[in-house]
Amino acid sequence: MKRCLTLILCLCLIGRTSAQDTLQLAPPLLRYPSAFFAGSTTVAMEFAMPGAVIRYTTNGETPDAQDPIYQKPLKIRGKSTLIKARSFAEGYLPSESVEVLLLKKGIAPERIHCTPPVAPYTALGARSLNDTLGGMMDFEKNTWLGFNQDSVVIDIYLKKEIIPNMLLLNVLQKEGSWIFLPEKIQLDAWNEDLQRFMPMAQRVFVPGLEPSADRCLPVLLSNIPKRKTRHLRLRIYPLRSMPQWHPGKGRAAWFFTDEVLIYP
């Protein structure tokens, strides 16, 4: 039993110390089925050190000693909920903050078509873009679609005409694995009267001068002109040349996505 408690303590501490050699706790573990959900979802938190507690927030602030203590899994229903959590214990520095952004599914499209992803990162093809699965950092899980083409097209066909207010595309940034944010994402809407696509919104990205932390990034396209449509088109342009600091400098990067959400 004593050896077991010693092992737990080792797993719950990280090697950083302060000037007074105070150990810092490791972050808690957040467990949730997916970052996306339809009706509601739950988030559980784990930290197996005797005497320690987990404090959390849902307002975007970093948890401190005055924030609620985790007692049981949190039930989430809101459209967008950012949960942050830290480990606390007397005599130790609080852990770094861990977080997850949970997103409620918007309008269910009639169907989605997309440029064929590249094996082995094919998941369920275009169906993976609206199945409320994913939002995990591990790109080898069968939820991500991977692309290394010059451009990627995602066509979203709606069940009826709507005026879209926002569109969210979840993308992966894992530069050590050659997965970068794209150069640009363009959103267009089909105009039935003019029989052509009309520009709606776009986002442009510039690679950093040094490596960025690994992350899932929900890219939000908002301030969309109020136009009715049944057909939205996303055109994504992956990074054509990785920056000079990267081992693959000058070569094309990969683009990964796992979910697209439309909100009226």
Beta bridge partners of 103: 36, 80
Residues 6+ apart with CB under 8 A from 203: 184, 185, 219, 221
Using the 8-state DSSP alphabet, how is residue 211 labeled?
P
Query: How confident is the model at residue 102, as a pLDDT?
Result: 94
| Of 50, 76, 104, the domain-final residue | 104
Query: How confident is the model at residue 118, as a pLDDT?
Result: 96
Query: How confident is the model at residue 180, as a pLDDT?
Result: 98
Same domain, 129 and 226: yes
Which residue in this structure is represented by tokens 């990205």? 205
CA dist 235 and 229 (Å) reads 17
- Show the domain range for 170: 111-263
Pair of tokens at residue 35 = 């970052």
Q: How far from chain centre, in Å, is Cα 135?
A: 5
CA dist 172 and 180 (Å) reads 7
Type of residue at 216: C
Going by C-alpha positions, the residue among 98, 83, 97, 81 that lies closest to residue 37 is 81
Same domain, 122 and 243: yes
Number of separate domains in the chain: 2
Beta bridge partners of 82: 101
Q: Give pLDDT tens digits for 191-201.
A: 998 999 999 99
Same domain, 158 and 207: yes
Mark the ranges of the chain whose per-residue pLDDT is less than 70. 1-20
Query: How confident is the model at residue 142, as a pLDDT?
Result: 86
What CATH number does residue 142 fall under?
A: 2.60.120.1190
Query: How confident is the model at residue 139, as a pLDDT?
Result: 85
Same domain, 58 and 143: no
Query: How confident is the model at residue 179, as a pLDDT?
Result: 97
Pair of tokens at residue 183 = 């150069």
Pair of tokens at residue 220 = 């939000």
What CATH number does residue 51 fall under?
A: 2.60.40.10
Pair of tokens at residue 68 = 């609620």
Same domain, 89 and 201: no
Same domain, 95 and 135: no
| Of 104, 122, 139, the domain-final residue | 104
Same domain, 148 and 92: no
Side-chain-facing half-sphere of 49: CA atoms under 13 Å? 25
Same domain, 75 and 203: no
Is-cis flag, bond preceding 73, omega within 30? Answer: no
Residues 6+ apart with CB under 8 A from 150: 237, 238, 240
Query: How confident is the model at residue 136, as a pLDDT?
Result: 86
Same domain, 43 and 158: no
